[in-house]
Amino acid sequence: MNFEVFISCAVTGAGDTVGKHPAIPVTPKQIADAALEAARAGAAIAHCHVRDPESGAGSRDPALYREVVERIRDSDTDVIINLTSGMGGDLAIGHGESPMEFGNDTDLVGPMTRLVHVEELLPDICSLDCGTLNFGDGNMTYISTPDMLRVGAKRIQSLGVKPELECFDTGHLWFAKQLIAEGLVDSPPLFQLCHGIPWGAPADTTTMKAMVDNLPDDAVWAGFGIGRMQMPMVAQTVLLGGHVRVGLEDNLYLEKGVFASNAQLVERAATIVTLMGARVLGPDEARARLGLEKRAS
């Protein structure tokens, strides 16, 4: 069990949740405010995507990231900034016997283009999705090939940003370890074990334990489940020795029929951690665990 736990809050994501929740953060101000509210509720890390302010769809516009990061850094609230680098990996395979007729939802760019905002803003952490995945129940595929990952990991390393190695299945974990073996990820490596996304690793004890048992000895790791499994997987992650992630990217509800805010989800996770006899770590303590230096505002 982990008795000293940091909480990460994924405040908005890029999924089709606008319209399914009355207060999904969409504008840069809303996303930054959500990150700061989560931090004040006990989150040491804010994991941020951006969205098009008009449509609410996920975006990779560097100007939107810039506004979010500047608002967070200009605040009086300390929080570790973790920006996604996962946008630009969507490939909507054509239907039936026309797989090469890619759908309008396709947004597929190279590994360096996915890092433009990271290069400019130099967050503490950026995510690195460690493999390709059938995403959902249709023809959408997230593309992250070994060659792409090597290029991305090398660039992230050269920028002095900590990669969060997001593993949605066991093969992703296997390849993340290969990146470490090739010297493309500095110690201590940070893993995020992602559970419940169709069709990746299921949100259950057996699967999470199998992944944990295959982590490198020096790994710092966190885990999460989506939807109704968010809070059960908070407890499971702590029991298996990890840190936790919650937030509206992964779950919209505090309980059945009751919409949550990011701050409420962080508070609920902090309560679970505390009732288990563990302590919630602040940003400076999380930085020490991760080997991060505090960046200037």
- The ranges of the chain with pLDDT < 50 are none
The count of C-alpha atoms lying within 13 angstroms of the C-alpha of 148, restricted to the half-sphere facing its C-beta, is 21
CB of 287 closer than 8 Å to CB of 293: yes
Whole-model pTM: value is: 0.96
pLDDT in the model for residue 136: 84
CB of 259 closer than 8 Å to CB of 23: yes
pLDDT in the model for residue 291: 96
Nearest partner of 133 among 192, 184, 185, 201, judged by Cα: 201
pLDDT in the model for residue 296: 63
Show the domains of the chain with their CATH numbers: 4-290 (3.20.20.70)
pLDDT in the model for residue 100: 96
Q: Are strands 279-280 and 58-59 parallel, antiparallel or unpaired?
A: unpaired
pLDDT in the model for residue 139: 95
pLDDT in the model for residue 264: 98
Contacts of 125 (CB under 8 A, 6+ apart): 45, 80, 81, 82, 83, 161, 162, 163, 164, 190, 290, 292
pLDDT in the model for residue 98: 97
